[in-house]
């Protein structure tokens, strides 16, 4: 007669239940620029006319991603060798 421990061990599933299944896609996370645009409630057409967004972009130009076409429209230079790492 089998002992209760051996029966419980036989019923236990082993291994990865997701083996062979495709990896689910990663969740989309907005950039800091997109978060700022959403807070200011701007559309793509109003980016260039926003004084608040321009000020934010000038402060963060070397730290976060800002679309190149917007930097060119405002003539904001970016230092390609800038490193925020201390």
In a domain? residue 1 = no
30 Cβ partners below 8 Å, 6+ apart?
A: 38
Lookup result for tokens 């930097």: 71
Q: Which domain holds residue 34?
A: 29-79
In a domain? residue 16 = no
State pLDDT tens for residues 36-79.
999 999 999 999 999 999 999 999 999 999 999 999 999 999 88
In a domain? residue 48 = yes
In a domain? residue 86 = no
Query: Contact 32/64 with Cβ under 8 angstroms?
Result: yes
In a domain? residue 24 = no
In a domain? residue 84 = no
Q: Is the pTM of this model over 0.85?
A: no
Rounded distance, CA 40 to CA 62, Å?
Answer: 21
Task: Count how many domains the chain has.
Answer: 1
In a domain? residue 45 = yes
> How large is the angle between the packed helices 51-60 and 32-40, nearest 10 degrees?
160
């Amino acid at each position: 007669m089998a002992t209760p421990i051996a029966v419980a061990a036989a019923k236990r599933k082993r291994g990865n239940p997701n083996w062979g299944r495709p990896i689910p896609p990663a969740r989309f996370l907005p950039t800091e620029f997109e978060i700022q645009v959403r807070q200011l409630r701007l559309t793509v057409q109003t980016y260039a006319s926003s004084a608040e967004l321009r000020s934010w972009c000038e402060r963060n130009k070397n730290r976060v991603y800002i679309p190149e076409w917007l930097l060119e429209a405002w003539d904001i230079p970016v230092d390609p060798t800038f490193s925020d790492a201390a």
